[in-house]
A and B are shown apart, each in its own frame.
Chain A
Amino acid sequence: MSVSADIEQFILSELTQGRGITEIDPSENLLSKGIVDSHGVMELVGFLEERYGISVGDEDLSPENFESVASIEGFVERKRNGQT
């Protein structure tokens, strides 16, 4: 499964339970639409760290890194490549 699909699956199964959301476009704004709130970000960080072996610091907690599935994927790739 691609990173993007993996992230989407996590959000759908863990963060949007019972909200009738069945799919998320990679470019869809998760924040402005309230799909992911602060609690959701915390759980997402835990998932990313465990799943991809990256460390998410406070400096990484920005809307730019978590705005969409595509943003999160890009963030994970940069982390894995040691670029951030």
Chain B
Amino acid sequence: MLMELLYQSASSRPDEVALVYRDERVTHAELVDRVERLAAGLAAEGIGPGDAVALLLPNDPTFVTSYYAISALGAIVVPVNPAFKQDELEFYFRQCAVRAVISDDRSAGVCERIVAAWDEPAQVIPTSAAHGQALTLDMLMATDPARLDRRSPDEPLVYMFSSGSTGRPKRVARTHGQLRGESDYYDWMGIGPEDKIFCTIPLFHTYGMGCCMVAATRTGATHVMLEDPNPFLLRRQRALELIETEGVTIYPGVPFNFRLMAEAPASADLSSVRLAFSAGTALPRPFFDAFLDKFGVPVRQLYGCTEAGTLTANLDEDPVATFESVGKPVDGVEVLIEDDEGQLVPPGTVGEIAVKSPGLTSGYSDMPDLNKQAFRDGFFLSGDLGQLDEDGRLTITGRKKLLIEVGGYKVDPIEVEDVVVAHPQVVEAVVVGVGTKVQGEEQIKAVVVPSDELDERELIGFCQQRLANFKVPQVVEFREEIPKSPLGKILRKYLI
């Protein structure tokens, strides 16, 4: 269904720019041509409806092309963080039963090692033949283009993974209809073909996928991608230049990046930016003030989740007075605040945020028991805490779930614990977040009860092999026992 939007843009404004990346400008017509060619190439390799295809790519036109080619075939996109280690990649690949992996050159080798051990190996398709692979994305792109059929709204389009309160991340399937539903929010926000959306956030994440890529597709706006956006400190000057030279009008970002831009010695004319959004974590007031003082642009908070995409946005006429709020629900979204018994609470009272939206998933894949707890009467119990004011503006006050915020990522301590306790010399372990000197940032600390003498570096190396770098504990504390309540509940507050 998103493909129809690409066709509309290619028909109505074929020569206008859809994507900007480095010196490359891809028009709407060119983007459709690329998508059709790659889809035809993938189809020739046997990729079809229901097949899961992982994307291990940075933010670039190839990601966008691949995403739409895969989904237009009725196959399912599985965007994966390229920073993941082999064990994590294997988890995601197996969870989704991927049929193929489209990978950048850097990750192709590890992908091949993973799938080689499978009974039915998946196909690894690198972007180029850097390692002498027989089949590359470039080759598939040489296929003759073919018009793509409309997909059914109920067909799954993408598998994402959501952090949870227990165990490994949970698979979230969202359909063509749900992504199309989310895409309408951006049109409702007033984003249009004359807009230019600046992307510095990963497209493999729901925020980047929705607020940048899908938003551009739905509205016909130009999607301007910052190349190699991490670490952002080394790219902030380039980011400022791009915003100014391209005349960016919409900038979805994260708090830390807004802070870095405000602290940059050089300035830039950001007067073209009419909507700057911040999401992912709370926007500290000093960051908001610094960015506003320097550039005259108020950063508005936005709220969403992996399960539903964007949910609320602060489009208030007075973004300064309302800066703490993530805004009102976007068109079609309902937000309720409930107490622990599931009863609605009055405005001004904190409770759990429950949401219902056209973009909301039907549930976590293959987890019926969890779905009974997390979904009720069409609403999703987010695990976030917040309150509504008298005018319906939402403010996030905390999290019901235990997640550690590390460098912009939300790390599930249970996932890290599972890895730590898998070490043969670990009897018990608890993972907590501990504060650092940087506001809003935490470190991961593992409190471990060893069976006998255990070297910290060996334990860290064990984790390093199995977890992405940002999930590896930075602090290890050995104890003889973990503090618990009389009922056996772990007393995490004594471990921080």
Q: Which residues of A contact B (CB under 8 A)?
A: 17-21, 31-42, 57-59, 61-63, 66
Most buried by B among A34, A57, A66: A34
Contacts of B438 in A (CB 8 A): 39
Q: Are B461 and A38 in contact (CB under 8 A)?
A: no
Q: Does B286 contact A (CB under 8 A)?
A: no
Q: Which of A18, A35, A38, A58 contacts B256 (CB 8 A)?
A: A38
Identify which of B39-47, B380-388, B472-480 touches chain A: B472-480
Q: Is the CB of A62 within 8 A of B234?
A: yes
Bound complex: CA of A83 vs CA of B362, how far in Å? 60
Give A19's nearest chain B residue, CB to CB: B472
Within the complex, the shortest CB–CB distance from A19 to chain B, in Å, comes to 5
Interface size class of chain B, counting residues whose CB lies under 8 Å from the partner chain = 35 or more
The answer to whether B235 has its CB under 8 Å from any CB of chain A is yes
A19 to B475, CA, bound (A): 10
The answer to whether B234 and A17 touch across the interface, beta carbons within 8 angstroms, is no
Binary per-residue interface labels of chain B (55-96) against chain A in the complex, 1 for a CB within 8 Å, 0 otherwise: 000000000000000000000000000010000000000000
Contact of A41 among B234, B256, B464 (CB under 8 A): B234
Residues of A within 8 A of B234 (CB): 31, 38, 41, 61-63, 66
Query: Which residues of B lie under 8 Å from residue A59 when comparing CB positions?
Result: 237, 266
User: Secondary structure at chain A's binding surface: helix, strand, loop or mixed?
Assistant: loop
Which residues 220-250 in B have Cβ within 8 Å of A in the complex? 228, 230-237
Task: Produce 1/0 per residue, B253-278, CB < 8 A to A.
Answer: 00010001000111000000000000
Residue-wise, chain B 393-412 has the 8 Å CB interface mask toward A (1 for contact) of 00000000000000100000
B260 touches A34 (CB 8 A): no
Cβ contacts under 8 Å, A34 to chain B: 83, 230, 468-470
B214 in contact (CB, < 8 A): no
B469 lies within 8 A of A63 (CB): no
The answer to whether the Cβ of B427 comes within 8 Å of any Cβ in the partner chain is: no
Most A-side CB within 10 Å, residue of B230, B256, B468, B475: B230
- The chain B residue with its CB closest to the CB of A31 is B231
Most-contacted residue by chain B among A19, A21, A38, A62 (CB, 10 A): A38
CB-CB under 8 A from B472, the residues of chain A are 18-20
* CA gap between A77 and B441 in the complex, in Å: 33
Q: List 27 A–B pairs whose Cβ atoms lie within 8 Å, in order of A's numbering.
A: A18-B456, A18-B472, A18-B476, A19-B472, A20-B457, A20-B464, A20-B465, A21-B464, A31-B228, A31-B231, A32-B106, A34-B230, A34-B468, A36-B231, A37-B407, A38-B230, A38-B232, A39-B407, A57-B265, A58-B266, A59-B237, A59-B266, A61-B233, A61-B236, A63-B228, A63-B235, A66-B234
CA distance A33 to B230 in the complex (A): 10
Q: Quick one: given A31-B231, A31-B234, A62-B234, are A18 and B460 in contact (CB under 8 Å)?
A: yes
A19 pairs with B474, CB closer than 8 A: yes
In the bound complex, residues from chain B placing their C-beta under 8 Å from that of A19 are 460, 464, 469, 472, 474
Is there contact, CB below 8 Å, between B228 and A58?
Answer: no
Least Cβ distance of B20 to chain A in Å?
19
B464/A31 in contact, CB under 8 A: no
| Interface-central residue, B230, B234, B235, B438, by most chain A CB under 10 Å | B234
Chain A residues whose C-beta falls within 8 Å of the C-beta of B460 in the assembled complex: 18-20
Chain A residue at smallest Cβ distance from B264: A58
Complex Cα spacing A2 to B457, Å:
26
> Which residue, A17, A18, A41, A59, has most C-beta atoms of chain B within 10 A?
A18
A63 partner residues in chain B, CB cutoff 8 A = 228, 234-235
List the 4 closest A-B pairs by CB distance, nearest first: A20-B464, A20-B461, A38-B233, A38-B231
* Cβ–Cβ contact A18 & B475, under 8 A: yes
In the assembled complex, how far is the CB of residue B1 from the closest CB belonging to chain A, in whole angstroms?
Answer: 34
Give the docked Cα–Cα distance between A66 and B468 (Å).
21
Within the complex, what minimum Cβ distance (angstroms) separates A61 from chain B?
5
Residue on A nearest B438 in the bound complex, by CB: A39
For the complex formed, measure the closest distance between the CB of B127 and the CB atoms of chain A, giving whole angstroms. Answer: 14
Contacts of B256 in A (CB 8 A): 38
**B237→A58 contact, CB < 8 A:** yes
Collect the chain B residues with CB atoms within 8 Å of residue A39's CB: 407, 438, 441
Pair B231/A37 contact, Cβ less than 8 Å: yes
Chain A residues whose C-beta falls within 8 Å of the C-beta of B475 in the assembled complex: 18
